[in-house]
A and B are shown apart, each in its own frame.
Chain A
């Protein structure tokens, strides 16, 4: 061919690029191009550019506000939802929005996330509704109106758009209660885009894992900062005031455990050894030693692992050192934010600081919930009195937070009776909801905790309290809980759409979809229900026909629904593009699965697994335990190995069984692992930041033939 020499050169270059050094060279070349100064475009002579915001004699055309589209009705523009709320609808259900009428009540438009939306109580009870009611109680019925535009899942970017659109409703004040969704995690799989990967590689080279954590934090802050700047501009344009709520999170009754990322040398081995010891110390009530050891864990993991902070917080709480406990609990939230898989919203201290400084910079009024809640919590740390879960408010939480907002509103509008929020709080009544709604919220709080709270000691989260509370509330709680238990009995393939699910979702727009649609058999929740006497004290028995090993002959325990906790699922709460491994990676020393059995005979486990190794072959034993009792040990190596340990009938119990694989500690390969992570970031290849204890290609429980 005419360009034969060019073709040969391409062949040769491709062969070189196919080596690691070659790819590194290519990536550097791309980097050089990327970093090259971009020539500025010369200014061309011509007419001056129009002003950015040219004044038009006519008002700009109205734009949609979220799902509400503008429509002309007579001489007025109203915003109408084209479709009614569907399942999982993130917006408030009001069909129509109207601009404030001249001379109408003082209008407050609430923008925010699920906490602002009143998650678990919405749409019947919301912070907007509570605020409206409180203002009415304080000033009479028609002086204020609160418009609810809070959207579940609202991001910083969406807040920008929503704020800009919402001013069309002519608010007197924009009330913004957001920030939980702003922190960003470090996206390691798949690797971030080009610029992001460059930043990641540079940050890691400069500062190791701390660099990656900082990068994630900065990204979240950038998004939040921009949203606040745009919010200020939008409010200014219509002369609306802004009240900024600094959210608070549940520091006392929610845990955010995560294993440490790779640590240098034998750091990971030492950390996990210490972790087991500290959990034991805490259990034994040796609190001073717990605090000391937890601090050593923090020193070891550079403060990047939330688990260590939680242990420290628990020790300080036990020792009565509440201020230190609060600091440690907040550090837990901060440490979880960058390594946030499964992804869990949580307001970091950096975002709180951003909100406070933005209020100063832009002249916003500020409601600082951490300060408010610190006084109102039932315990040293804000917990179950104010929160249903990690950030969503209980009725009391709504009352307290909105009283603080009401104080700002009244002060701002110079309406009597102004005063400190504490005084107003004493004057307003408790929000009241029907028993059915209260029970529903409590059941959801129980299940949410079962799914996502992750105690550092690996035990079941304290969901019994919410179940007991719901049963005490009545309002159909027992039927609701029993329905949920029954819903777990459906075959895995139709778990999310079964007849039981249909019964729950017959009413459109119900918020339960987030919880009822969890692809898990939910053994912790079922056990807690059993203790509360649900399902004749044994809801696990209902699982036997479709999930029982004896009934099925064989059950694949690697199916996600059989992972013990939802939070153990590698794909939990991540997108379809993440974590696409063909095997199960164990990130904790113990991998737990839900095995359903009628305990009528011995079972076999068909196991194919390996022990990852970065530096040469490895061979160690793995313990197999059923319900906490070791029943077998299998010898695994760094290559796939098959084993068929026996699960003796004596170790099984009818219904739910916990099957655990207890892995040996990872090798002391931290230095090598960190070097590899650096290299892969340079090459823009996805990285696993955590040591993997074991990998499982097959895990099946099989019924042995009855003799």
Chain B
């Protein structure tokens, strides 16, 4: 049974392939199209999933779509015509998803649609490995639901309560993200990262905005918002309440911005804790599964696990909308076969394209790059990489299958020495080209994690924060509040990455590395070796490890750098559909 899960048309669109209940492949479209947050029908991710399964579209039994277009349209109608919708082609067109699955992907078989939050819930529960669990989904909005409470047992997954639009924790967070001058659906991480710099002096005001209700319910005071058909998220009343004007994009960050971010984070966490407490009263299981965009708030997740009533927490690595494809596929499997898909826990996120060593060798050879060739000499490769890391270099690390979800987990990562006090500033400014306040996360050998962090369980997906308790000084990965967002690396799941950490440990006594996603600001994480080389060329990464090959910056010719930039612009330019965005333009 080949089931293709698909999410599209809002955030990162994505596809996954579930083959006889086993998750074989998953990827976001943005990685192929090189358009960040690409929400279009995921044609390239679709092609990748088929390739990974050795299939053609004719071999698929079902395409499972991650939300119900008709229910979503109902909510859109209720909310009023979106700003600018008069020219928006998709507006009112609930038939578009299935039509394009047929016409653009060429699929002839059964298309099943599942509710947005049901897909989120399934993506968490069915891949958690828990036989029984409570399930909490929280995001901006799907169809009507914005938060749901459910229980999963065996192949059964039931949502028993939901909070409906427009009352939404995700929209609250996004509205304040916009208020703080960051882009909605993009800048929420930044707000979370900004929060520890502030003090919670706006908490009382925000409690007037977000009103708790009994059970799983809460309400937003809509007078403070303007997202119902408006052109912005917040209303003037919010500015009056906060007694502070909104921050303009790219304007300097001031203390009040940091305080507002902190207050928002506090209110979010306390609400989630309260609702998790409620959920525990409804579900008699020690396990909690979470999904939805808000479940990517790793600070809240950490607090839920530490202070909440559940013993174990599973958040799947692509907890946002792209992961909805996983849930839809799992629901289709359960519906069509009457059984739960793969009962094991999703233990890694390496579900994307991989490139063989010989393929990489062929490409590097054809590019004429005098790379160091470590084929058959892994130890030497690791030692050479450690040489560079220990010398304060930033290393692009490209190994195996690409990660699914927003986190780089050692397959498409930028690595650096976490002990270096200047590293964070350097990474932000020269390599990632992003805001100076943003923190970096560490990878740590799983066996060493407890020595450095207040962490007693694996954290493979970097989806929770905890306190740094290290005997080492780790300024590059320790946030201003003493926390970090570690990835624990298990040699069984990420063999070479674990070996690198071990080698760095042996050399330096530090079993950690800074691990940030391999991309520059405004671009998706790299997918192919050529993407990696392009990012390498565009930034000030010092060295690049491509499978068994190591390339130092000095080995890139100026002409190659120029050509890579040109190719990137030409292939992935974001023109208006005219000829200027093409590779081979006319005149």
Contact = CB atoms under 8 A, between A and B. Distances in A.
A496 B47 CA distance: 22
Q: Is the interface of B mostly helix, strand, loop or mixed?
A: helix
B270 interface: no
Q: Which 9 A-B pairs have the closest CB atoms?
A: A499-B368, A114-B587, A640-B58, A194-B87, A14-B74, A14-B73, A18-B94, A502-B559, A10-B77
A530 to B, nearest CB: 22
Nearest to B529: A493
A17 B580 contact: no
B41 A580 contact: yes
A497 B78 contact: no
B87 A698 contact: no
A119 B92 contact: no
Contact of B563 (A496, A514, A684): A496
B572 interface: yes
A496 B583 CA distance: 10
A1 interface: yes
A697 B74 contact: no
B585 A153 contact: yes
A107 B368 CA distance: 48
Contacts of B99: 685
B528 interface: yes
A583 B108 CA distance: 13
Interface string A472-507: 000000000000000000110110111101100110
Contacts of A583: 57, 106
A581 interface: yes
Contact of A14 (B77, B363, B367, B573): B77
A506 B559 contact: yes
A11 interface: yes
A18 B99 CA distance: 12
Contact of B43 (A119, A572, A581, A697): A581
Interface stretch (A185-193, A281-289, A402-410): A185-193
Contact of B584 (A502, A518, A642): A518
Interface stretch (A26-34, A69-77, A95-103, A237-245): A26-34
A455 B98 CA distance: 39
Given A508-B562, A640-B108, 4 more contacts: A17-B77, A193-B87, A193-B89, A578-B577
B564 A190 contact: no
14 contacts: A3-B78, A7-B74, A13-B77, A17-B73, A87-B562, A87-B566, A493-B529, A502-B368, A572-B584, A575-B579, A575-B581, A580-B41, A580-B43, A582-B43
A639 B43 CA distance: 20
Interface in A557-598: 566, 572-578, 580-583
Contact of B89 (A18, A26, A684): A684
A502 B564 CA distance: 10
B578 interface: yes
A582 B106 contact: yes
Contacts of B584: 451, 514, 517-519, 566, 572-573
B56 interface: yes
Interface string B26-60: 00000001010000110100110000000011100
B71 A14 contact: yes
Nearest to B85: A30
Contacts of B564: 497
A683 to B, nearest CB: 8
B104 A580 contact: yes
B578 A575 contact: yes
Given A187-B577, A505-B563, A514-B584, A18 B106 contact: no
B585 A18 contact: no
Contact of A11 (B33, B74, B108, B528): B74
A34 B89 CA distance: 14
A193 B86 CA distance: 9
Given A582-B57, A697-B56, A573 B585 contact: yes
Given A119-B587, A698-B56, A493 B562 contact: no
Contacts of A424: none
A574 B566 contact: no
User: Which size class do A's interface residues fall under?
Assistant: 35 or more
B164 A497 contact: no
A575 B94 contact: no
A13 B193 CA distance: 42
Contacts of A41: none
Given A17-B92, A181-B587, A695 B106 contact: yes
B1 interface: no
Contacts of A38: none
B363 A494 contact: yes
Interface string A396-432: 0000000000000000000000000000000000000
B24 interface: no
Contacts of B46: 582
Nearest to A26: B92
A1 B570 CA distance: 52
B575 interface: yes
Given A494-B366, A575-B575, A87 B563 contact: yes
B93 interface: yes
Given A493-B528, A517-B583, A519-B584, A18 B95 contact: yes
Interface residues of B, number: 67
Interface string A3-20: 100110011011101101
A308 to B, nearest CB: 23
B535 to A, nearest CB: 14
Nearest to A392: B587
B557 A502 contact: yes
B587 A573 contact: no
Nearest to B367: A494
B503 interface: no
Contacts of A27: 92
Given A15-B70, A505-B563, A517 B78 contact: no
Interface string B526-565: 0011100000000000000000000000000101101111
A696 to B, nearest CB: 10
Contact of A18 (B47, B69, B562): B69
B560 A502 contact: yes
Contacts of A639: 58, 108
Contacts of A191: 89
A23 interface: yes
Contacts of A683: 93
Contacts of A152: 587
A195 to B, nearest CB: 8
B428 interface: no
A497 B47 contact: no
Contacts of B586: 153, 343-345, 573
B357 interface: no
Contact of B367 (A345, A451, A498, A640): A498
A697 B58 contact: yes
B582 interface: yes
A576 B567 contact: no
A335 B368 CA distance: 46
A197 B86 CA distance: 12
B587 A499 contact: no
Query: Most chain-B Cβ atoms within 10 A of its Cβ — which of A152, A190, A517, A695?
Result: A517
A113 B572 CA distance: 24
Contact of A496 (B89, B567, B579): B567
A576 B74 CA distance: 32
Contacts of B40: 577, 580
Interface in A310-344: 343-344
A403 to B, nearest CB: 23
A197 B575 CA distance: 20
